[in-house]
Each structure stands twice: as C-alpha cells, then as structure tokens.
Amino acid sequence: MPNSHIPVITIDGPTASGKGTVAARVADRLGYHLLDSGALYRLAALSAVRAEVALEDERAVAQLAEVLPATFSNGDIFLAGEEVGALIRAEEVGNNASKIAAFPAVRQALYALQLGFRKAPGLVADGRDMGTVIFPNARLKVFLTASVEARAQRRYKQLIDKGFSANMDDLLADLQARDERDTHRTVAPLVPAEGAYILDTSDMTVDEAVAQVLHWHTLL
C-alpha cells in the first residue's frame, strides 16, 4: 500500500471513554491528522434517517454509506454541505450508529473512506476497530477504557454542555446496551488489538491520559 509508511496511532475503546478528546489532543500535539471514525457511523445513521431508509435494511444503509457526502474541516463536520457536528452528538444518533455499525456491509462501505485519512505526516484514528481491522499495522495502539459510572458521568456532562437534555439512569442503561452490542457483534467487535497498551482513565484527567499516550509514542 502506497501510504503504509505513514505513522498511525490508534485509540480504541468503549463509548464515552474519552478517546475522542484524547485522540484530538494527541493529534494536535503531534501535528497529525485525525480520524473520528465514530462520526462516520453517526453520519451514515443520520443519512439513513433523513432518507427514510429503515435502519434494519443492511443493503440500503450500506448503499448510503458507500457514497456518504461527508467532509471534515477544522473540527467542523459536514453532511452534503450542512454543518452537523453538534447534531450528530445526540444520543439518538449514537444509538442508531451503534445499530447500523453491526452490519458487515455498512462497515465494508466505510472501509476505503477511513483508509484515505492516512496522510503525511501521520494520523491519530479513534474508534472501536482502528487497531484491529482498519490499521492493523499502526505504530502505536491504545485501548482507552473507564468504569461505566465514570463514562456515564462524562457523557452526562458532555450532553449538558452541548445543550442536550440528559438523564443519568437512562444514560447508564444506554451505555451498557451499547457496550453489549459493540462487544458482542460478530464483525469488528470491540476488543483490544494485539499489542495495544491498555489505559484505564477512570481516575485520570484528560491531560494525564494525553501525556501517557505521548509518552508511549516517544518510546517507539
């Protein structure tokens, strides 16, 4: 592959583990590109809902994902020219994303798009299967996790900060359901990649987690 020499750091982990924030900060510090792969699944789910395609229809959702009109620019996320960065953070979009992400045809449809993010000088990719499936030859692989309570707290704060309403009990139940689906699906289940460093951030600040990943990076 022509770009296989370009360094990749993968940061995988369960929902609300903080991997998005950590990945963005690490990319910023290293001057690397960023792939928020979860955003692609969220965009595909939003596309399907807008096109009134049933989320259970694997083929139809995959067809939409194959030609997803997604663009990323300076932290903004566009779907067919409309800025939807905040909108796709809604819990409903996340839950729908998790449902369609279980379909092999949908994952396959988004495969080439994800590989295209590997550009010089390097890439930080966050998601569920970055180190296991999409970039198995990544230079550094991290599996970021945290207790379900810590993750529910973080998601609660994130939603409130973004102006969404949130209920702690519902969030805990949603998180557990999403963990269950992401971990037990047959394609690209959420598991640490071979050789991944495991980072439990339950009692860590974002700065500490970023510092740890950058430290591992310097060891390579």
Q: Looking at 9, 16, 43, 140, which residue binds ligand CDP (CB under 6 A)?
A: 16
The full DSSP string for 1-14 is -TTTTS-EEEEE-S
What does each C-alpha distance from 102 to 19, 110, 150 come to in angstroms? 20, 13, 25
Closest residue to ligand CDP in the complex (CB): 38
In the complex, the smallest distance separating the C-beta of residue 118 from ligand CDP, rounded to whole angstroms, is: 15
CB nearer to ligand CDP: pick between 39 and 152: 39
* DSSP letters spanning 19-55: HHHHHHHHHHHHT-EEEEHHHHHHHHHHHHHHTT--T
The 74-113 contact track toward ligand CDP, x by CB under 6 A, reads: --------------------x--xx--x------------
Q: Are 138 and 123 in contact (CB under 8 A)?
A: no
Taking CB under 6 A as the binding criterion, the range among 26-34, 122-130, 194-202, 212-220 that sits at the site for ligand CDP is 122-130
How many angstroms separate the Cα of 112 from the Cα of each of 90, 95, 101, 141? 26, 24, 15, 20
**Closer residue to ligand CDP, CB minimum distance, 129 or 145:** 129
Q: Report whether 30 contacts 77 (CB < 8 A).
A: no
Residue (165 or 218) nearer to ligand CDP, CB: 165
Please report whether residue 37 would count as binding ligand CDP according to CB under 6 A: yes
Tokens standing for 31?
A: 């001057």
| The binder of ligand CDP chosen from 10, 132, 182, 199 (CB under 6 A) | 182
In degrees and rounded to multiples of 5, residue 167 shows phi and psi of -130, 125
* Residues in contact with ligand CDP by the rule CB under 6 A: 15-16, 37-39, 41-42, 94, 97-98, 101, 127-129, 178, 182
